[in-house]
């Protein structure tokens, strides 16, 4: 597990003193709005699609299930979304 967290820190450029932990719960935190940081590298298409999904979620489901708020500053996040795309040749 530590190797995976170290790799994640390296990919994100996050210092070792920044806490990263896996949730023991299979549900999202109760915070609303739920700040979500999107780490998708240079894949603008996937990022735009995800932002559109968040917009639709907030329009249709936020009142019942809570709003999502994309943030650009990793220090503001509550939920982290990491997408790593690889190309198989």
Closest CA to 29 of 71, 61, 77: 77
Sequence length of the chain is 89
Residues 25-49: tens digit of each pLDDT:
666 667 778 888 887 777 788 888 8
pLDDT mean over 2-14: 76
- Report residue 13's pLDDT band, with 50, 70 and 90 as the boundaries: confident
pTM: 0.61
pLDDT tops 90 at residue 58: yes
Say what the pLDDT of residue 52 is. 93
């Amino acid at each position: 597990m530590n190797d995976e967290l170290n790799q994640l820190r390296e990919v994100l450029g996050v210092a070792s003193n920044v806490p990263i932990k896996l949730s023991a719960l299979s549900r999202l935190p109760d915070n609303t709005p739920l700040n979500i940081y999107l780490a998708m590298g240079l894949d603008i298409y996937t990022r735009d699609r995800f932002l559109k999904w968040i917009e639709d979620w907030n329009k249709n489901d936020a009142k019942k299930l809570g709003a999502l708020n994309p943030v650009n500053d990793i220090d503001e996040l509550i939920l982290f979304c990491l997408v790593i795309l690889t190309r198989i040749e």
